[in-house]
A and B are shown apart, each in its own frame.
Chain A
């Protein structure tokens, strides 16, 4: 079974600072990777996804993530954060083998952006 680790539980940044949130997964086969975001009081929504192809994927609101297969990582980045990026960010992975696998989430990273 796959598992996901997000090493930063809480991150505090000032506006305009750069962001990188770490995500590592454990699974030996092919995976689909996701970042979901949960703004305060709202539901989870998809930020970006990687299925195959270019390992650098771009999502909404200026976010991007890079899949590094050799490191089993899928780190989320944003060059310049805004106050409105304050939210909880979840990395998720699903094994890509059509074997009825479930989407597994990391523990989440709470980002607070100070104005």
Chain B
């Protein structure tokens, strides 16, 4: 158990819909990261938040947005869903800004878009 909690574990929805994925970091960790894992794209970095502020942005679509709340949990919002958004979405956390690169991953939220 990494200490990072993600909900829901599985989610099935239809194209055009909107979903929210939630992540609670390890106790004391200030940084939260979102990654998308798909068969054809591998592990793609989406976005990082550090203590409530956006820190780094990767290959995140405009239809996707995220935020980190004062209690440090984070939500990833995916809207106008397309079939290609079906993937495993991982959240990870680290104590500080993550400059060392050592991250602690949650078990992921598997999104299926039909």
- Interface residues in chain A, defined as those with a beta carbon under 8 Å from any beta carbon in chain B: 32, 34, 36, 42-46, 49, 51, 90, 92-94, 96, 98, 100-108
Contact = CB atoms under 8 A, between A and B. Distances in A.
Interface of B: 2, 4, 33, 35, 42-43, 45, 48, 55-56, 58, 90, 92, 97-108
A106 B44 CA distance: 9
A104 B102 contact: no
A25 to B, nearest CB: 12
A43 B2 contact: yes
Contact of A45 (B42, B43, B105): B105
Nearest to B43: A105
B56 A101 contact: yes
A103 B106 contact: no
B106 A43 contact: yes
Contacts of A105: 35, 42-43, 45
A102 B105 contact: no
18 contacts: A32-B101, A43-B2, A43-B90, A43-B107, A43-B108, A44-B90, A51-B100, A94-B100, A94-B101, A100-B97, A101-B56, A101-B99, A102-B56, A102-B58, A103-B33, A105-B45, A106-B42, A108-B42
Contacts of A44: 90, 92, 105
A2 to B, nearest CB: 11
B107 A103 contact: no
Contacts of B98: 94, 103
B13 to A, nearest CB: 22
Given A102-B56, A102-B58, A108-B42, A45 B2 contact: yes
A49 B56 CA distance: 22
A100 B55 contact: yes
Given A43-B106, A43-B107, A98-B99, 6 more contacts: A32-B101, A34-B102, A101-B99, A103-B33, A104-B45, A108-B42
Contacts of A43: 2, 4, 90, 105-108
B101 to A, nearest CB: 3
